[in-house]
A and B are shown apart, each in its own frame.
Chain A
Amino acid sequence: EAGVTQFPSHSVIEKGQTVTLRCDPISGHDNLYWYRRVMGKEIKFLLHFVKESKQDESGMPNNRFLAERTGGTYSTLKVQPAELEDSGVYFCASSQGGVGAASSYNEQFFGPGTRLTVL
């Protein structure tokens, strides 16, 4: 079974430009998450989709970030305009279940990440 995939693996852009990251979850996983790790910090949650709906976007840093999951399959995360502090590794994860009783149904599996560098 294919795991979570992300594209691109690396992106180098200039401040003020736009970048769009893509995530394809494990087939059949309704729950999709975006996380980010900036240098020297821990991985932090950005948002959570259940199918095409945003369940929780409390971690989104500001309105320069826009996440979509049209059709409930793959998701995109757009940063516009990019700032220097947006540099980091953006991870996507998916799970069968999302909220509810603690069980293996809710375990999250991560993609390889997109390393974003804003110059």
Chain B
Amino acid sequence: RKEVEQDPGPFNVPEGATVAFNCTYSNSASQSFFWYRQDCRKEPKLLMSVYSSGNEDGRFTAQLNRASQYISLLIRDSKLSDSATYLCVVNPKGTYGGSQGNLIFGKGTKLSVKP
């Protein structure tokens, strides 16, 4: 089983739609969770961090379910500019209880927002 699994998509949605991405992780001791956004041939850019049960920032909401080892990202009122690949990223637990330095990435979910 992969450490971080995502539906690869692509998700093709019209402008204004609400879209949700799901992600599961295998290490139950994982400490922190992130959604990064990656545009074609660009670097990953941090979109949201999730340290407790969830986080909301404008049109974006991330939720964490530790019991099910599941993270989601909800995008409301999709814009053309939201088209990108969304990477689910997990930071595992370190030796001394806190986060480890290395990030574990999913393969990403591709989103295409159409006019």
Chain A residues packing against B (C-beta within 8 Å): 31, 33, 35, 41-45, 48, 50, 55-56, 58-59, 91, 93, 98-104, 106-113
Contact = CB atoms under 8 A, between A and B. Distances in A.
Given A41-B107, A107-B49, A99 B101 contact: yes
A102 B91 contact: yes
Given A91-B44, A110-B43, A112-B43, A100 B104 contact: no
Contact of A111 (B43, B49, B96): B43
Given A91-B43, A102-B91, A104-B49, 10 more contacts: A33-B103, A42-B4, A44-B105, A45-B103, A58-B102, A100-B96, A102-B98, A103-B51, A107-B46, A110-B36
Nearest to B43: A110
Contacts of A98: 101
B9 interface: no
Contacts of A103: 51
Nearest to A91: B43
Given A91-B43, A102-B32, A48 B98 contact: no
A42 B108 contact: yes
